[in-house]
Amino acid sequence: MANNKLKKTSKVYTKSDIWKNKYLPYLFVFYIIILNSNTFKHGFVLDDDIVYSKNSFVLKGFNGIADIFSHGYLYGFNKIEGQTYRPITLLSFAIENQFFNKSSSASHVIQVLLYALACFISLKLLLEIFNKTPLLAYIIAFIFATHPIHTEVVANIKSRDEILSFLFIILTLRYLLKYLNSNKLSYIIFSIITFVLALLSKESSFTIVLVIPFFIYLFSSNNLKKNTILTSVFVLLSVSFLVFRTLLFSSVLGIADKMDVINNTIVSAGNKSDELATIFYILAYYLKLLIIPYPLSYDYSYNFFPIVSWTNIISILSLLIYVFIGVFALIRIKKKHIDGFGFLFFLALFSLSTNVFVKIGATLGERFLFTPSFGFILAITYLLWNKFCNTKLNSKFITSAFFVVLIFSVLTYQRNKEWKSNFTLFESALSVAENSSRVQASMASEYRRMAEQSDNDQLKSMYYEKAVDYYQKSINIYPKNIESYYNIGVCYQFWGKMDLAKNAYQMSLNIIPGYNNSLNNLGALYYNNQQKDSARNCFLLSLKYDSTNSTALSNLGAIIQNEGNYTEAIKLYEKSLFYDKSNKSCISNLLKAAQMINDTIRLQKYQNY
């Protein structure tokens, strides 16, 4: 009797049933959180201060929301509208700051949770696509979620825009798929809403419209007319957004003309042919990182990659591979194979980061592969699945996939540690990108910071010496690295070696005569050495090149004030404050000058400025 009862209540699970368990997706999320939990105690690194810790709009919390939606992405940091508009990303930081008050730990926990959510939604989409082969969906999801190339997106708070963009893009596709399967109006409305949120998280999200018609073709029997109507809705939204952004901000054009070689190596190419050859040389490295994501670096700028011509075999092979991927994708999508969509997704979402169509402010960035890699991993895994899983090699393929996830997990966990602080990040990059001028300069800046914070004279001297050495290495790689010359001057100035500081500042001025930072510091050195005429000339020269230089105006005002001309000094101070209201030394000097001539009106105006 007992045995018969047991047989009636027991259930035999097939392999397919196991992967359809409703709790398994949550175990997947738990694994992702645990894998990335070693970032929870990390600090702010790299450009996190630009979008969060030093962004005035974000630091206002809820009170900064109106400013966030009415200004450019970086306006809260540098008062420049710029060319980017990502209010949803900044909104997430503002809400975060309202409750956690600039806590880096809270930011990293939220970052990991958002990443886990994005991976969870992508898994749900994959399970709906591969509803008859859920194991394949999990293999793709695990490889994507554990891929070491994504450590920058997870560990760098600034990359919140990448996570939110990916999350909303996947939601857009998932709701669109639900609409195609059910024809319910609510799903297409949700798809449109999430698409708009993707655009407001990161502008490049609009490239998803390039694959939407193929997605509709692949997962529905809709005729061409209905496909065109649906696609047109997303195209219209994209165009409307881009037009709105262009009208809102005036400085969206001309970025290539202002780009420095230190930001993008490609700018140093002598002609268009070499430029394109170098781009495809770099694109080959992107493929390498997708397949073998080791070693990794936060920076790949000048001179990590050489300028090459079309005689370089890597450039030629890279071009052929990308053309092949494109042609293969179109052929496969025509036959309604999912790998074709995966490759098209990869190419479309990667297109704006390649430097082929528009120059961006980076030679190569690991974060640029985050969203595109989803399509690449989907396509490759699907192809291998079809190749091996209907043969005797089935178990070997699944075992291999398991080891890939295991290796990726180990690499991700270790790489996360290197993002703990600027020092650990820059130090790790030295072994990978030793030929990067920026990496050397970044390491130097960390030693300079340590010197400035040290109370031990011996340690201070040692840190300054290391800083100067790394700055010099940066200059050896890129002789026109004006910021490194300037920073050498700063090191020597605070180290007490004034003559060497003057020489360093002068070296930077030999490259750019109107470089304001060096002119202001050099002027201050002259003034402290009682060489007032030389100091005045430095500040006047600075204003000749940039009449809006708040520091030069304030410093010139100080010279005139010490000469007893308080009225003229006040005029310069007020002009300085017009361009920079946060100049505290300027306010202090203005109040002293106003007090000397008993200017009660200005005393009242600037007392609580």
Q: Encode pLDDT of 449-470 as tens digits.
A: 999 999 999 999 999 999 999 9
Q: Is residue 601 part of a domain?
A: no
Q: How high is the pLDDT of residue 20?
A: 75
**Residue 431: strand, helix, or coil:** coil
**Do 262 and 241 share a structural domain?**
yes
Looking at per-residue pLDDT, the higher value among 193 and 250 belongs to 193
Rounded distance, CA 238 to CA 233, Å?
A: 9
Tell me: pLDDT of 10 over 60.
no
Give the list of residues 6+ apart from residue 131 with CB closer than 8 angstroms, or none. Answer: none
Measured CA distances, 412 to 5, 136, 210, 298, 329 (Å): 48, 22, 31, 14, 30
CA atoms within 13 A on the CB side of 545: 16
Quickly state the pLDDT bin for 17 (edges 50, 70, 90).
low
Tell me: pLDDT of 5 over 50.
no
> What tokens were used for 409?
């997990």
Degrees (nearest 5) of the Cα angle 316, 318, 320? 70
**Do 450 and 408 share a structural domain?**
no
Least confident of 102-111, 355-364, 373-382, 404-413: 355-364
**Do 486 and 504 share a structural domain?**
yes
Q: Please give the tally of structural domains in the chain.
A: 2
Q: How high is the pLDDT of residue 260?
A: 81
Measured CA distances, 435 to 292, 305, 429 (Å): 21, 9, 10
> What tokens were used for 400?
């291999």
pLDDT for 568-589, tens place per residue? Answer: 988 998 898 888 887 888 888 8
**Do 386 and 492 share a structural domain?**
no
Find tokens 């200004």 and name the residue. 71
- For residues 167-189, average pLDDT: 96
Rounded distance, CA 503 to CA 501, Å?
A: 5
Are the CB atoms for 542 and 516 separated by under 8 Å? yes
Chain-wide mean pLDDT for the chain?
Answer: 91
Tell me: pLDDT of 158 over 80.
yes
Measured CA distances, 556 to 21, 72, 131, 593 (Å): 73, 32, 72, 14
Q: Is residue 1 part of a domain?
A: no
Which residue range(s) make up the domain with 534? 425-582
Q: How high is the pLDDT of residue 532?
A: 87
**Do 457 and 313 share a structural domain?**
no
**Do 296 and 435 share a structural domain?**
no
pLDDT for 373-388, tens place per residue? Answer: 999 999 999 999 988 8
Q: Is residue 333 part of a domain?
A: yes
Rounded distance, CA 489 to CA 519, Å?
A: 11
Tell me: pLDDT of 12 over 50.
no
Quickly state the pLDDT bin for 250 (edges 50, 70, 90).
low
**Do 409 and 337 share a structural domain?**
yes
- For residues 546-572, average pLDDT: 90
The one-letter amino acid code at 230 reads L
> What tokens were used for 502?
């003057």
Q: Choose the final residue of a domain: 418, 444, 471.
A: 418
CA-closest candidate to residue 383, choices 136, 210, 37: 136
Q: Choose the final residue of a domain: 374, 389, 418.
A: 418
Quickly state the pLDDT bin for 259 (edges 50, 70, 90).
confident
Degrees (nearest 5) of the Cα angle 180, 185, 187? 60
Tell me: pLDDT of 255 over 80.
no
Q: How high is the pLDDT of residue 3?
A: 41
**Residue 250: strand, helix, or coil:** coil
Rounded distance, CA 356 to CA 280, Å?
A: 9
Instruction: Enter the DSSP assignment of 52.
Output: I
Q: How high is the pLDDT of residue 604?
A: 84
Give the list of residues 6+ apart from residue 365 with CB closer than 8 angstroms, or none. Answer: 152, 300, 353
**Residue 11: strand, helix, or coil:** coil
Quickly state the pLDDT bin for 390 (edges 50, 70, 90).
low
Rounded distance, CA 551 to CA 539, Å?
A: 9
Tell me: pLDDT of 527 over 90.
no
- For residues 468-484, average pLDDT: 96
Q: pTM for this one?
A: 0.90
Are the CB atoms for 221 and 181 separated by under 8 Å? no
CA-closest candidate to residue 521, choices 569, 548, 485: 485
- For residues 94-122, average pLDDT: 96
DSSP E strand stretches across 128-214: none
**Do 398 and 443 share a structural domain?**
no
pLDDT for 428-441, tens place per residue? Answer: 999 999 999 999 99
Tell me: pLDDT of 368 over 80.
yes
Q: Is residue 591 part of a domain?
A: no
Rounded distance, CA 512 to CA 525, Å?
A: 19
Rounded distance, CA 589 to CA 266, Å?
A: 46
Looking at per-residue pLDDT, the higher value among 4 and 382 belongs to 382
Q: How high is the pLDDT of residue 287?
A: 98
Q: Is residue 198 part of a domain?
A: yes
Give the list of residues 6+ apart from residue 234 with CB closer than 8 angstroms, or none. Answer: 192, 195, 208, 209, 212
Tell me: pLDDT of 607 over 90.
no
Measured CA distances, 30 to 109, 113, 135, 544, 568 (Å): 13, 10, 18, 59, 66
Are the CB atoms for 468 and 488 separated by under 8 Å? yes
Q: How high is the pLDDT of residue 529?
A: 87
Report the CATH number at residue 453: 1.25.40.10
**Do 439 and 378 share a structural domain?**
no
Q: How many CB atoms lie within 10 A of CB 154?
A: 25
Find tokens 């005045």 and name the residue. 536
Rg of the chain, C-alpha, whole Å: 28
- For residues 191-208, average pLDDT: 96
Q: How high is the pLDDT of residue 2?
A: 41
- 91-121 burial, b at 16+ Cβ within 10 Å, e below that, comes to bbbbebbbeeeeebeebbbbbbebbbebbbb
Measure the CA dihedral 145/380/314/357, to 10°: -70
**Do 237 and 157 share a structural domain?**
yes
Rounded distance, CA 509 to CA 520, Å?
A: 11
CA-closest candidate to residue 437, choices 401, 485, 370, 384: 485
Q: How many CB atoms lie within 10 A of CB 257?
A: 7
Q: Determine the straight-line distance between the first and last CA of the chain, rounded to whole angstroms.
A: 89
Rounded distance, CA 439 to CA 444, Å?
A: 9
Q: Is residue 599 part of a domain?
A: no
Quickly state the pLDDT bin for 389 (edges 50, 70, 90).
confident
User: What sign for the dihedral angle of Cα 405, 407, 408, 409?
Assistant: positive
Rounded distance, CA 579 to CA 79, Å?
A: 10
One-character DSSP codes across 525-539 = HHHHTT-HHHHHHHH
Q: How high is the pLDDT of residue 16?
A: 55
Q: How high is the pLDDT of residue 258?
A: 59
**Do 473 and 396 share a structural domain?**
no
Residue % of the chain over a pLDDT of 70: 95
- For residues 244-253, average pLDDT: 66
Rounded distance, CA 32 to CA 55, Å?
A: 30
Measured CA distances, 90 to 5, 62, 182, 190, 353 (Å): 60, 11, 35, 22, 22
**Do 369 and 223 share a structural domain?**
yes
Tell me: pLDDT of 392 over 70.
no
Q: Is residue 2 part of a domain?
A: no
Q: Is residue 604 part of a domain?
A: no
- For residues 280-304, average pLDDT: 96
**Cα–chain-centroid distance for residue 410?**
24
Measure the CA dihedral 29/35/38/41, to 10°: -10
